[in-house]
A and B are shown apart, each in its own frame.
Chain A
Amino acid sequence: GQQVMQIPQYQHVQEGEDFTTYCNSSTTLSNIQWYKQRPGGHPVFLIQLVKSGEVKKQKRLTFQFGEAKKNSSLHITATQTTDVGTYFCAVSGGYQKVTFGTGTKLQVIP
């Protein structure tokens, strides 16, 4: 099945600093989704990217899908304490299966 690796595994930033997590695959992806999981919470869908080179923004969050559709990134500008959590990329493989990446745990230091 499709495997996606995320880096870094952990990231500590000072509040106000930027944060980026990267998702990489060895195979071409049909789409990529991003989820946020707060500590003790459940995954919450953030966005989906489908097109090569696609860039989408949600307030301070910028999502990008690589030209070759093998990688993606999530960038948060000026982090806030509310951004704390684990960010997962995920890919749809097969008919309904969604495979999650390894996740990047973000800690924001006030």
Chain B
Amino acid sequence: EPEVTQTPSHQVTQMGQEVILRCVPISNHLYFYWYRQILGQKVEFLVSFYNNEISEKSEIFDDQFSVERPDGSNFTLKIRSTKLEDSAMYFCASSSKTTGEGNTIYFGEGSWLTVV
């Protein structure tokens, strides 16, 4: 079964540093997402991306965050000037149709970010 792959699986970074989390969505998917899950809490929507631009974002996704699709396969999440509270599991996801059509979202295994 095709899958979403994420790297790194775990990253430790100093507070104030920038991190880039990478994702390779499923190849024929058109819609890409980043979600965040703080330890023990629910999965929170950050941003969705379609046709090379952000289509929707949450209040969490402020100027500290950015996303990019630098080539035909990768989808990245950049977090500038990391804070302690950014420590969380970051999940990338993709789907072939808009979720408004009730399509399945496939999640990657996550990148665990620890800010120290």
- Residues of A whose CB lies within 8 Å of any CB of B are 1, 30-31, 33, 35, 37, 41-45, 48, 50, 88, 90, 92, 94-103
Contact = CB atoms under 8 A, between A and B. Distances in A.
Interface of B: 31, 33, 35, 42-45, 48, 50, 55-56, 58, 91, 98-100, 102, 104-110
Nearest to B108: A42
Contact of B107 (A1, A42, A50, A95): A42
A5 B104 CA distance: 21
B109 A97 contact: no
Given A43-B43, A45-B104, A48-B102, A94 B110 contact: no
13 contacts: A30-B100, A33-B102, A94-B56, A95-B98, A95-B99, A95-B100, A96-B31, A96-B98, A97-B99, A98-B105, A100-B44, A101-B42, A103-B42
Contacts of A30: 100
Contacts, number: 63
Residue with the greatest number of chain B CB neighbours at <10 A, chosen from A37, A42, A45: A42
A96 B33 contact: yes
B89 to A, nearest CB: 8
A98 B91 contact: no
Given A97-B58, A103-B42, A31 B105 contact: no
Contact of A45 (B35, B50, B105, B110): B105
Nearest to B3: A42
Contact of B100 (A37, A90, A92, A99): A92
A30 B98 CA distance: 14
B48 A31 contact: no
